[in-house]
Amino acid sequence: MMINPRAEILLKLLIERYIAEGQPVGSRTLAKHAGLELSSATIRNIMADLEELGLVRSPHTSAGRVPTQLGYRLFVDSLLTIRPLQSEHVRRIEGDLGADHEPQQLLEAASALLSQITQLTGVVRVPRRDQAAFRHLEFLTLSPKRLLAILVTQDGRVHNRVLQPTRTYSPAQLTEAANYFNATYSGMQLTDVRKALVDSLKQDSEDMQSVIRAVVEMANAVVSEVRGEDEVVVSGESNLFGIPEIDSARLRQLFEAFNTKQDLLHLLDQSMQAGGIQIFIGSESGYEPLEDCSFVTASYSLDGRVVGTLGVIGPTRMPYEQVISIVDVTARLLSGALSSDGYIDFPQPPASS
């Protein structure tokens, strides 16, 4: 939407004042602070034009105006000046996202940081387990008829399963089989590994050594179980209390959404596919509980591959220039912390029985 430069200046000032103060902004205030040699009457006319365009509205209780969802969208897309994140916040995020933490701890720390620094609600989409990349598989003998399969994904998660093969394998055979599996599938997403395993199992047994076929069957069983429930880490829900723009009915919807998470997961996955910074304002999310809120998100990566999304939920009257910087920096530092840990300490097997 194109508006003239004077209207842009006034709309930007109006939105900035409303975000800062939470009160409708009148023509007299705009005339005093806009730096334009315009009369209050001229400003009222411009405001009337902006209202006709659907960019501002007049609450029934005040002669001043407040931005609409469309006004916020124009502000974010065309008028916003992003502020660099304060150095103390950067240092705090860097310190709390140290690379010596486990991946799950990093994700929880990122959610908490987003909440604490913005004083809004921080959300982190945990990487889907079936979309994680495979790193390593090994087999350990527990007894002649029991094996421990250890599968490690690129995000540092370790998955164990006790298997009961129909025949006995020597340590050399198990090592050969695991080496074959690791060389063939390392770096592939688990969904792709599982598909490849299913295709491999369709081959005639003559095309594959019996031990390799056995390891494919066992590994397929392990990979099939590495699915689990999708997760969202939410922090600072209580920060939404007391925000005038979010009434009690909407607040109940939001808390129910944080509890069930399914629609929130869908929105986060949508953001992950789009990549970069995404900003949903009000009904743009297509999600009723967020109709009075804005959701600023950014994707994060592991070794250059996008694996999840994080973000901040708050009222449409949020300080976008600060929140966008906080979300962006947190996503970048989380990506660096996740990607810098290349060492996996394999767990010791349980005692033989």
Domains contained in the chain, CATH given:
5-79 (1.10.10.10), 87-127+230-339 (3.30.450.40), 130-225 (3.30.390.60)
Question: Burial code of 289-316, b = ≥16 C-beta within 10 A, e = fewer?
Answer: bbbbbbbbbbbbbbeeeebbbbbbbbbb
Query: How many whole angstroms separate alpha carbon 10 and alpha carbon 71?
Result: 12
Query: How many whole angstroms separate alpha carbon 196 and alpha carbon 248?
Result: 50
Candidate from 105-119, 153-167, 182-196, 282-296 with smallest mean pLDDT: 153-167
Q: Are 104 and 139 in contact (CB under 8 A)?
A: no
Q: Are 190 and 250 in contact (CB under 8 A)?
A: no
Torsion region of 158: left, alpha or beta (phi above 0 gives left; psi -120 to 50 gives alpha): beta
Q: What is the pLDDT of residue 344?
A: 31
What's the whole-model pTM score? 0.72
Give residues with Cβ within 8 angstroms of 221, minimum separation 6: 149, 161, 163
Give residues with Cβ within 8 angstroms of 345, minimum separation 6: none
* pLDDT (tens digit per residue) in 225-236: 655 455 889 999
Candidate from 3-12, 141-150, 160-169, 327-336 with smallest mean pLDDT: 160-169
Q: What is the pLDDT of residue 215?
A: 64
Higher pLDDT among residues 83 and 291, named by residue? 291
- % residues pLDDT > 90 (the chain): 35
* pLDDT (tens digit per residue) in 17-46: 999 999 999 888 898 888 888 888 898 899
Q: What is the pLDDT of residue 304?
A: 82
Collapsing DSSP to helix, strand or coil, 263 comes out as: helix
Query: How many whole angstroms separate alpha carbon 219 and alpha carbon 272?
Result: 29
- % residues pLDDT > 70 (the chain): 84
Cα–Cα distances in Å, from 236 out to 18, 28, 103, 190, 293?
Answer: 24, 37, 20, 33, 15
Helices 320-339 and 103-118 pack at an angle, to 10 degrees, of 170
pLDDT grade, residue 352 (50/70/90)?
very low
Closest to 167 in 3D by CA, of 207, 205, 213, 136 = 213
Q: Which of 64-68, 270-274, 347-351 has the highest mean pLDDT?
A: 64-68
